[in-house]
Amino acid sequence: MFLYLSKLLPLFFYPLGLACVSLVVALVTLWKRPRTAAIAIAFALTLLLFCSNAWIAKSLVRSLEWQYLPPAQIPVAEAIVVLGGATKSAFPPRPTVELSESGDRVIYAAQLYRQKRAPIIILSGGRIDWRGGGSPESADMATILTSIGIPSEAIVQEPESLNTYQNAVNVRKILSDRGIIQVLLVTSAMHMPRSLQVFQRQGINAIPTPTDFLVSEGELQELGSSPKAAILNLLPDTDNLHQFTSALKEYIGFLVYRLRGWV
């Protein structure tokens, strides 16, 4: 139940959900309380315009992603831990498992392995039944890795976890059984601050190894590269709204995890 509510309730705090609630209020009050309806409509419009411009969205994303920048030299560890959320199951018409927007995690883990940064890759992630089902994310990631030449004996799967906290708890058991002390933690840069604190709270010596950066120095410079660019980046865009929502989700997730004592 907690898992379901944790996915459902925050929707009403995200810009699109909150704007929809506001518009429903406007629709209900339009005839009897037109002033209230007008305020609700103005709120929804302001919210969407604010959250979907590049200046605001990229600033919020950067506040998360740039907390842990990749080190100039990745240290050698005993294992590479990759968190789920990077694949799409092989449902027709897909010919096989595919990488999602966060699929850089899997490719980066393969690169680290080939660079001999660690001898094994631990893949952590199950699959929520009411969100499409299919194979566990750990199995899907393993399929991708073996297809690009990573030996199956170098891969350890953890297919039970359904959130970041469970990732850390279940991986800790694997590390304890194998006597592993230090790992490279691979996940999306935006997800790294919360993930790292959860893993550290479990007593895991995890080195942050982020990937999948949405905001780079070049993109920040592009925002104000010219007066025209500065103005255009103020206009609403669905990609910006998605990035803003993703960053807000991380902050809400961190708050919930803090209240539950997980970070």
Length of the chain: 263
Global pTM reads 0.91
CATH code at 193? 3.40.50.620
Please state the domain count of the chain.
1
Cis amide bond preceding 193, omega within 30: no
* DSSP H or E run through 99: strand 98-99
Packing angle, helices 192-201 and 54-65, rounded to 10:
30
Nearest-angstrom CA–CA distance, 211 and 196: 14
Span 224-257, pLDDT tens digits: 888 888 889 999 999 999 999 999 999 999 998 9
**What is the maximum alpha-carbon separation in the chain?**
69
Q: Is 136 contained in some domain? A: yes
Which of 208, 203, 167 has its CA nearest to residue 187? 208
pLDDT of residue 161: 94
Q: Domain for residue 262, yes or no? A: no
What is d(CA 208, CA 145) in angstroms, rounded to the nearest whole number?
21
Each residue of 111-143: pLDDT tens digit?
999 999 999 999 999 987 655 567 899 999 999
Decide if 238 is inside a domain.
no
Look at residue 17 and tell me if it is in a domain: no
Instruction: Tell me the C-alpha distance between 108 and 110, whole Å.
Output: 5
Which residues constitute the domain of residue 192? 79-208
The continuous run of DSSP H or E covering 254 comes out as helix 238-259
Q: How many helices (H) and strands (E) does the chain have?
A: 11, 7
- Residue 130: the pLDDT is 52
The answer to whether residue 22 sits within a structural domain is no
pLDDT of 100 over the 80 cut: yes
Residue 36 falls inside a structural domain: no
Q: What is the mean pLDDT of residues 192-211?
A: 97
Q: Residue 80 — very low, low, confident or very high, per pLDDT cuts 50/70/90?
A: very high
**Confidence (pLDDT) at 102:** 92
213 found inside a domain? no
pLDDT of residue 66: 97
The answer to the question of residue 225 being in a domain is no
- pLDDT (0 to 100) of residue 91: 87
Amino acid type, 158: E
CB of 128 closer than 8 Å to CB of 93:
no
pLDDT bucket at 10, cuts 50 / 70 / 90: low
Predicted local distance difference test score (pLDDT) of residue 224: 85
